[in-house]
Structure 1
Amino acid sequence: MKIIVIGATGRVGSQVVTKLAADKDNLIFAGARKPENIHAPSNVKPFKLDLYDTKDDILKALPEADAIVFTAGSGGKDLLQVDLNGAVKVMIEAAKRGIDRFVMLSSRDSLTPDSFSGANPSPLANYLIAKHFADLWLIKNTSLDYTILQPTALVEKPGSGKVSLGEFTNSENSIENVAAVLAKITVSNNTIGKIIEMSDGESPIDDAVAEVK
């Protein structure tokens, strides 16, 4: 399978690349603003992708592939240009390229407007707003075979390999677990058209993804 990972040098994206590349039948295109920072096995092909570029430039940059995993983010530094507009541009150009499968790393509460509204909004309100409209664009304005993953807070700790999907049973997710779930979702057709809540939990990842309905 040919899979593009957008944000391949990020905390999550770099681990998604590693996990997908473990299957030697996969060819992974690792997209980043600085692809020279990607050091990977022979079935990983780094390429330059700048989310600030025009749609035409993004289309030219995208390789032919079967799926895209979008993990890019600005770290709160440029939410409109990267987390919102950058994501939408990739969706639009993926469709033109004929890449139908689109897996989006989002966030808990991205599709719950009350979490970023009212007198006491989330401290991540602006981030959630950017993710909200990117996710809505994916759902409402494309015909892509999407999956949206909504994890709770990402933490840098070893992955347990066990998660909860479809509900929040924990306030944290290890980054390794999130990357493993994204990799599994990408090759699991039963997750198409699903918005999946995620936290660290008690179910082995393969079993949890297989049980998504």
Structure 2
Amino acid sequence: MSTTTKNTQPRSSRARRIAKISGFLALYALLLFLSAGTFDWPRAWIFIGLFAATLTVSGVVVHKTNPGLIDHRGEIEPDTKKFDKVFYTVSLPLFLIMAVGAGFDAVRFHWSSMPVSLVAVGIALSVPAHALVMWAMATNAHFESTVRIQKERGHQVFTGGPYTYVRHPGYVGMIFMYTGMPLILGSWWAFVPICVIIVLVVIRTGLEDRTLHRELPGYSAYAKKTCFRLLPGIW
């Protein structure tokens, strides 16, 4: 394989990743405003702007600190665990349902009422949560999107950064990030699909942890030192 081909493949992979993220964000914005029946929804604009900004910042940071990871995120490899394929199959529609439900609830039909002050709470949850996920991605070269043992990449246990404190810091960030989403959008009903997603994330954490214990050399020793999966002192 020529050097030109080797150099082109990572670029095309990154371009696909950017296109996927941009496309999903655009789809999410479309669902929010279509379900609301108006573009006059300040909380939705805050939501979209916040996530666009944090995704951009994390993309730039990870590109500089852990560039090889971007080439592998977003791809569902053939050896991805079956339970993880099920997770994505179920969770993606739930995110879309949340967008539609939030638009119906907060704007079109006003099924419930949420104080505007909770936008700040949602942002206060989401920004540090994004930062935690970014920290995990920037430091762990094997932070792929799906659960698998990355044998072709020399998969090893990573114990630094946020992994010093819990074994799955990325999932911790995701849970707090997801919790902040309905608060920013102003919809109590949006918590219904979000709570289901959070339960799925916890289940996924347990299944991934079991997989790593069984298949990744050195993980059991790491788990003895870093005792908790998500919440120190609890689990």
Same fold at TM > 0.5? no
TM-score category by the smaller chain?
Answer: under 0.3
- Higher share of residues assigned helix: 2
TM-score (structure 1 length as normaliser): 0.28
TM-score (structure 2 length as normaliser): 0.26
Q: Which structure has the larger Rg?
A: 2
